[in-house]
A = this chain, B = another copy of it.
Amino acid sequence: MTELKYIAVRNFLKEQIQQGTFGVGDFLPSENELCRKFSITRTTARKALDELLKEGFIEKKHGKGSCVIERRKSLGLLTVKGFSEAVGKNVKTIFIQKPTLQKLNSSIITALKDEDKKSDYWFFERLRCVGETPVMIEKNWFSNISLPKFKDVSFIDNSFFKTLSQKYFIEIIGSSQELRAEFANKEVAKILQIEIHSPILHISVQFKTSVSNLTIYSELYCNTKKFPIGNNYYI
């Protein structure tokens, strides 16, 4: 199973960007240069660049070239920035449940897309603390179909998304969220070390990725009393 050409070129360029060979503001090799370097046609070169475009790595300028841009990290709420950047410093992460392959949990079944209902899914659960204070419970799951090689990898910088990007070349390209203020139930209250029936922020997220049939589902339970959840968006 040999890799598709445009995927290979995309991955090559993405690595170069992530390693800093091409920094923000730099121009990538032109389409014709890519053609020569990889022995491909311009159609294929353009397709590779289109991938980087829709993943938010570059912008194309007519008559000039493809320019590396600051990847938009502040997607929606808590998204790609990840917890550490959203809340600030001094964050500890504790695995409540390391990644395991499981059957469906009926409590989340309604949120799942149809194609994800058929397969097993990877699940992991973490507790995020600021200093010694537990602040957020994070449950994540995703179908086994699109990522069968996924293993209990050690996450790069404790970031699942960074790991996805750098080990699997999968990018988050969007998110859909629902926010609710709720009373903490017994389980959540215990883990977050708060009174039962304290108000907590419950966030349900679906992350759309650059792999069309991979959707990542997260359920977040946040104690916002000391540490409100932050979010920035700029065009």
Contact = CB atoms under 8 A, between A and B. Distances in A.
Contacts of A224: 179-182
A180 B180 CA distance: 10
The complex is assembled from copies of this chain, and their number is 2
B177 A232 contact: yes
Contact of A76 (B59, B78, B200, B201): B78
A interface: dominant SS: strand
A158 B171 CA distance: 37
Contacts of A44: none
Contact of A231 (B177, B208, B229): B177
Interface residues of A, number: 40
B179 A229 contact: yes
Contacts of A76: 76, 78-79, 177, 231-233
Given A78-B179, A79-B233, 12 more contacts: A54-B54, A76-B231, A76-B233, A174-B232, A175-B234, A176-B230, A176-B233, A177-B233, A179-B222, A180-B201, A180-B225, A182-B224
